[in-house]
């Protein structure tokens, strides 16, 4: 019990996860920082994916039906 209380106190001092809202309206991306570097998760619906002239080689299909690619900006 004492170790659980100590762990909670240690985590209480952490900043936690913060949402990066970006500089403009880009509703197709989620932004955050990894090791201090700004990153974006690009997401395409199946229709958007089929319409792309050039598809990223590193994009991955997610089981919920969208294509995703991680970018360090």
Task: Compute the distance between CA of residue 56 and CA of residue 5 in angstroms, rounded to an integer.
Answer: 46
Cα Rg for the chain, rounded, in angstroms? 18
Which pTM does this prediction carry?
0.56
Question: Is-contact 22 31, C-beta < 8 A?
Answer: yes
Going residue by residue through the chain, which has 73 residues, state the pLDDT in tens, using 9 for 90 and above. Answer: 444 554 455 555 555 655 555 555 556 667 888 898 989 888 899 999 999 999 999 999 999 999 999 999 8
Angstrom distance (rounded) from CA 69 to CA 42: 5
List C-alpha distances in Å: 72 to 4, 27, 28, 34, 46. 36, 18, 16, 8, 23
């Amino acid at each position: 019990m004492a170790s659980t209380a100590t762990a909670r106190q240690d985590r209480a001092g952490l900043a936690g996860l913060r949402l990066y809202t970006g500089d403009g309206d880009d509703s197709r991306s989620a932004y955050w920082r990894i090791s201090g570097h700004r990153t974006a998760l690009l997401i395409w619906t199946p229709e958007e994916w089929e319409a792309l002239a050039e598809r990223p080689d590193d994009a991955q299909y997610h089981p919920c039906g969208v294509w995703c690619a991680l970018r360090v900006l």
